[in-house]
Amino acid sequence: MNATESPTERPVALITGASAGIGKVFAQRLAASGHDLLLVARDGVRLRQLADELSLQYGINAEGMAADLARDEGMRSVANRISQMERLDCLVNNAGFGSKGKLANRPVAEQATMLELHVMAPMLLTRAALPGMIERNSGTIINVSSVASFIHSPGNTNYCATKAYLRVFSEGLASELLNTNVHVQALCPGFTHTEFHDRAAIDMKSTPGFLWLEATRVVDDSIAQAARNGPPVCIPSARYKFIVLLIKYLPAWLQRAIRTPLMKSRV
């Protein structure tokens, strides 16, 4: 029996990019809070292992759904599944990847895939979740954006642009839902200890230690802000709140000086 067909009355959380990093921590935290889970990622083996582990540990129903959300078939199959879910309480759009290099030198297919995964998939999954959440007058949607959404960065052009889309999309949607109990958050972490940079083959050795966050801190801040119906943008840690404040309000020449360490790699 899968998470969405369970006869229990537990709420269901669907998390994309759930097999590692921030997505995996969201799965752990939401399982601990009593949610059944539908976990989505490309790696079906890791998903099944995580689903079995969380089901046993927390006494909930967890299911893995292998899908490539950068492909039309994958994102639409997950969207169709969402539209049939009667207990969906939380949607976490976390799936993503990075690349490094100037746009003129990067493979076209890679950059198109980034736009599909960071823009089209979250939009389609959110659109599929909204009618049921609005009808039930309850639900939370968390779109994992980035501090990179506040900057532009040579070598990371589409990453920054797509993360900016997720942030602005979330803010606009939150405004549309003001008179409901459906809440939307753009989670904007900085450098976080996950597999993200290794998968993108980005050397992070020169990144100062004080800029790093733990995935548990990022997720806990996100969930805490969502629980109190906080503002639609969540920036974990005081240090990154301060950095974003500087980026937004300082003169352009000083902004460039502050951006420099961030532009050397990815946040």
How many Cα atoms within 13 Å fall on the side-chain side of residue 88? 28
Distance, in Å, from the CA atom of 257 to the CA atom of 253, rounded to the nearest integer, reads: 7
Q: Give yes or no: 145 in active site.
A: yes
Helix, strand, coil percentages for the chain (3-state, nearest 5):
50, 15, 35
Q: How far is CA 168 from CA 164, 171, 187, 223, 234, in A?
A: 6, 5, 11, 20, 13
Which of 85, 89, 71 shows the shortest CA–CA distance to 34? 89
Which of 259, 49, 29, 35 shows the shortest CA–CA distance to 156? 259
Distance, in Å, from the CA atom of 183 to the CA atom of 134, rounded to the nearest integer, reads: 10
> Which of 24, 58, 159, 240 is the catalytic position?
159
Q: How far is CA 113 from CA 82, 84, 128, 162, in A?
A: 22, 27, 21, 11
> Which of 163, 170, 240, 265 is the catalytic position?
163
> Which of 99, 145, 146, 149 is the catalytic position?
145
Report the catalytic residues. Answer: 145, 159, 163
